Amino acid sequence: MAIKFEILKKLKRARLGKITTKHGVIDTPAFMPVGTVATVKAQTTDMVDATGAQCILGNTYHLMLHERYKVIEKLGGLHKFMNWEKSILTDSGGFQVMSLGDLVKLKEEGVAFSSHEDGGIKHFLSPEDSIKIQKALDSNITMCLDQCIKLPATKEDTKKAMELSLRWAKRCYDAFDNRSGYGLFGIVQGGEFKDLRIESARKMSAIKFDGYAVGGLAVGEPQKVMFEVLDYTVPELPENKPHYLMGVGTPLDILGAVERGIDMFDCVMPTRSGRTGKVFTQKGELNIFNAKYRTDKKPLDENCKCETCKNYTRAYLSHLFHAKEILGYMLLTQHNLFFYQNLMKNIRAAIKNESLDKFAKEFRKNYKVTK
């Protein structure tokens, strides 16, 4: 057995399930906090654990710089290195093909990078290198190296990227050391072109991966486009494997994607927002810098049971942010991560109780997005 995925219940296209890796169970639908460089920013692993998270992310590109992965391997892998005993998924470095822009040169063999940290040190990452590094990190879920491109893009450029991603996926599959408790996911590309997405999904599905991700979304396209892509892409993926929407997203994005058959999510939004004063609550979003919170005795969310809401007022958190105290970033980040995990817990319960339509209607009615 590599990793095990069980579907416990289906409700229309939404699925309740669980993934079992060497490092434990991931209840799905699941949200995975991002820990790019072996840390979830402004959190200890105990704080992350207290939010209910069961899997976090690391990033191959960032952990290969200065050969950090060799140090991590020598010290026992990411779990021991960062004191996180639950599951870890590592991104392959493919997102950096897009995000680093002029620092990247793409070839059939792989990707040549100039380090974003100093611009001078050259690196090369092939599909085989990416798999090797992720194994050295002791990642439970390894992602294939792919080419992610910005939207909008021409169909010609999108097709080239999709086809390259398919060729790299086969090389990743061949290089992967299939072992108990560890899995490899393929990544569907194709931009917003229906025929390319379907072709990519079908050809990826022909390679027997342990799970399938939809990549190349949450890169600036409207939510309507994202949902349309999921509507025709997800049905092409193997039913008995996990479906992962990479880099998504807002609470409303997640809810809509679950309704379309997605099981796994990750995004920097709750952690990044926690460091910039944005707070997620059951009634929507608030900005702790707003003057009205400076004397507000209420918790961030009166229905929240996180440690931040149980112990601190909006007034105190407002004070921390205006004083630029690090504790403020930590407390808001923990609250936001708890909110996301609680959202997933409620979604799972709604699927189990066959009340997802009712839950989604009420959540959308009450959740106000700040402009």
Residue with tokens 């309704």: 259
> How many CB atoms within 10 Å of residue 285?
16
Catalytic site residue 49?
Answer: no
Cβ atoms of 181 and 4 closer than 8 Å: no
| Three-state secondary structure of 277-330 | CEEEECCEEEECCCHHHCCCCCCCCCCCCCHHHHHCCHHHHHHHHHCCCHHHHH
Catalytic site residue 195?
Answer: no
Burial level of 239, CB count in 10 A (0-12/13-18/19+)? exposed
Six-digit token pair at 302?
């009166």
Q: Which of 91, 138, 210, 253 is catalytic?
A: 91
Q: Quote the DSSP letter at residue 215.
A: -
Cα(75)–Cα(149) distance, rounded to whole angstroms? 35
Q: Which of 177, 266, 301, 357 is catalytic?
A: 266
The catalytic site residues sit at: 91, 266
